[in-house]
Amino acid sequence: MSFLHPAFLWALTALAIPVLIHLFQLRRFKRIDFPNVRFLAEISQQTRARKKVQHWLVLLARLLALACLVLAFAQPYLPSKSGAVQAGQRAVSLFLDDSFSMDGRNAQGRLLDQARKGAQDAVMAYSATDRFQVLTGQFGGKEQILLGRDEALDASAQAEVGPYSRLLSKVLLRQREALASSEARTKRSILFTDLQRSITDVESWTNDSLVPTVIVPLTASTPDNLSIDSAWFGSPVRRAGQDEELHVRIRNYGDQELVNVPLRLDVDGRQRAVASFSVGGGAVVDTTLRFLGDGPGNHWGVVSVTDQPVVFDDRLYIAYQVTDRLRVLLVSGGDATGDRAVTSVFAGDSTHTFTTQPYRALDLAGLAAQDLVVLNALPDVPGGLLNALTDFVANGGSMVVFPPSQGDASRYTELFGAMGAAAPTRLDTGTVRVDRIDLEEPFYRAIFQTMPRNVELPVVRERWNVRPAPGSDVLLRLQDGSPFLARSMRGKGTVYLCAAPLAESASNLTRHSLFATSLLRMAELSRPMGALYHTIGDEASIPLETATPTDEPPHLKGPEGLDLVPEVRRTASRTELLLHDQDLPDGPYFITSGTDTLSAVALNLARRESDLQAFTGDELRALLTERGLTTFSVLEGGSEDLSLRLNELDQGRKLWKWFILFALLFLAAEVFLIRYVR
C-alpha cells in the first residue's frame, strides 16, 4: 500500500492526545465504610478490573478512529502496474477512431457511439483541473490543443465517421507531441479503436514510460462487408448513341456467399441499367452494366449496391465526356492518291470534322484545335512545323505519319528524333506482306473479336526501315519481322508511324479495309477521356484537360452546393487542380470557369476501410508481449465501467473511502461502549 499524500502521516502523532486524556481521567477507587448497609438499595457490583477493561476499549476505539481519519487524508492506494501515482495536474490524450469501419455494430450498438461515450466517461474519471486532448482521424490543427473538461466533453460528442484512416503508430506520435507541450506530472494516452488490421501496425510502436497508453478495443459483431472496388468502360471513348459496357468489380470481404445481389447504375440522376451478381465469401467478381450512351457533353453516374451497416463503399461515382465531333486535319505533301484515300475515310462521316491543308500553307496556330493530324507524303518537315507538331503531341494530340514514295528518308530524321524514334535508314523495294493482326493489342482487340488464319492482308512493295521509340507498341508487323505500323506515347499524346507510303505503287494498303479501320480507330483514341474517377486523399491533383477561357482560377462545384477554388498548377505541358488533403464528400464535381462548365470529375472515398478484419484483445496482448511493449495495456469490455477501470489503472486502487468507513465504525463502537456497556 502506498500514499498519495504521505505528509499527512505526521498527523498520527495526534494519537498521543487521547492517550493523555485517558490517563488523566482515570479515577481511583476509595473504600467507604457504612455503619449499616440495610438501608442501601441493591445495586449491581462492578469490579475494579471490569472498569479498567472498558476504559481501555474506549481508548482503543478512539485511537483507531483517529488513525483511520489520518490515513484517509493521506490518500492510501494499491499501486497499479504503471507504478506509483503522482499528485498534481494530469494531461490525458483521447483518440477516437472515426474511420468508416466504426460504423460497425455489436450488441451495445454502433462502435463510434461507444467510443464517444467511453471518451466522455474517461474525461469524467479525472478532476476538473486536468487537461485533455481529443484527437480524431482528421488530425486537425485544433486537435493539438489541450482542453478543459467541459470542452473535452463537447469535442468527444462531435466526432463523426469520415474518410480518414490513420495508422495507430502515427496516432501515438501525434498524442505524444501534444502531451509534450504540457507541464503536467502525470500523462496518459487512451485509444478507442476497433483495432482494424490495416491500421494496427504494432511493429512500429515504441515504449514511452512518460506516456503510458491504454487501448480500449471496440469489436464489431461481424467483419462482413460488400464493396464496389472499381469500374471501367469496355472501350476508351464515349460516343453519342453508342452501346456502352461498364465493367464493375465487387469484392466480398465476408465469409458468406451472396447470391443474386442487385446492382444499379444511375446516369445524371436517372436509372439506366440494373444487373445482379453472386459472389463467394472472400471472393471478387466482375459484372457488366449495359446501357445506351447519351448525347454529347459531360455526364456523371453512380454504381450502387445495398449493404449494411458499413455503407461508404456501397457506391462508386464516375464522370465521363461524350464526344460530339472529332477534328481531323490532313496535311498534304502532294500525293493525290493518298489524299483521296484519307478523305474518303473521314469526309463522309458526320462524327468527324475533316479539313485538308497543304504543308507549305499550314495554319500552325490552328493545329492545337485538332484531335488527329495526318501527315501524308511530306517531302520534308520544316522547322516551324516540327516545333508545332512536337507541342501538339505533347499536349495530348495524335499524329500519324505516312512517308512519301521514293522520298529522302534523311529529311525525316529530326521529326522521328523528336518523337523518340530512330531515323529511317534505307528504302526497301522488296515485296512483302503484312504478317498478322495482333489481337492481344487493345488497339485492334476492340474491333476484331476473331481473325481467320487465311485472311488476306496488305502487300507492301516499298517501305522505310522504321525503328520506333523503346516501349512502343507494334500494331502491325511484316513477315520479315520489321514493324509496319507502330504506336508511341509522347507526353500526353500519341504518334503513329507507318513504314509504307500510301501511293498505289508502294502498297495496296489504301484499298484494304484495314486502312479505314485503323484511321477511324486512331481518331477515336485521339480525344483524351481522362480518368473515370479519382480517390479522395490518395490523389492530390486532378489534371485539367480543357483550357480555361480566362485567367481567373476555375471553381470546383460539388454536392450540397459545395463551391471551392482549388490551387492551380500550370506547367508547359499540363494544368492541374491541387486538392491536397481536403476532407471532401464523395460524389460528382464540375470544374467551371465563369458560366462555362469545363469538365466533370468524380471523387470517391478510398477503399482501405472496406476490409473490416480486426485484432482481438488477446491477439493484441500477445503482440505487445512478443515485442516487449510494456507501457501499453488493453482494457476489455468496451466502454462499460470505464471510469472505474481507468481510475484503478491510472491511479491505483484507492482505499481512502474504506478508511473513512472504518473511522465511522470505530466511533460508533466508542459510543456503544460508553452508553450501553456498564
Give the CATH number for residue 413.
3.40.50.880
Is 529 inside any structural domain?
Answer: no
What confidence score (pLDDT) does residue 28 get? 55
With CA atoms as reference, report the closest residue to 414 among 362, 445, 378: 378
State whether 137 and 179 are in the same domain.
yes
Same domain, residue pair 96 and 208 = yes
> Does the residue 378 lie in any domain?
yes
The verdict on 233 and 275 lying in the same domain is yes
Phi, psi (rounded to 5 degrees) for 145: -95, 135
Evaluate whether residue 290 is within a structural domain: yes
* CA 440 to centroid of chain Cα atoms: 35
Residue 358 belongs to a domain: yes
Same domain, 153 and 53: no
- Structural domain includes residue 596: yes
- Residue type at 519? L
Last residue of a domain, one of 493, 524, 555: 524
Do 198 and 319 fall within a single domain? Answer: no
Q: Are residues 565 and 424 in the same domain?
A: no
**E strand or H helix at 284, and its extent?**
strand 284-292
DSSP annotation string for 80-103: BTTB----S-EEEEEEE--BGGGG
User: What pLDDT shows up at residue 44?
Assistant: 46
Residue 420, in any domain of the structure: yes
Q: Which residues pair with 291 in a beta bridge?
A: 244
Joined together, the cell numbers standing for residue 383 give 522547322
pLDDT at 606 (0 to 100):
86
Residues in the chain, pLDDT under 50: 40-45, 83-85
Closest CA to 93 of 215, 219, 217: 215
Domain carrying residue 21: 2-29+44-79+656-676
Domain count, the chain: 5
584 and 632 fall within a common domain: no
Coil, helix or strand for 541?
strand
Give the number of other CB atoms < 10 A from CB of residue 387.
12
Do 351 and 442 belong together in one domain? yes
- 511/398 same-domain check: yes
- Residues 588, 495 share a domain: no
Q: What global pTM score does this model have?
A: 0.69
Residue 169: inside a domain: yes
pLDDT of residue 453: 65
Residue 449 neighbours by CB distance under 10 Å: 7
Is 85 a domain residue?
A: no
The CATH number for 211's domain is 3.40.50.410
**Domain match, 206 and 164 both:** yes
Residues 367 and 481 in one domain: yes
Give the three cell numbers for residue 153. Answer: 466533453
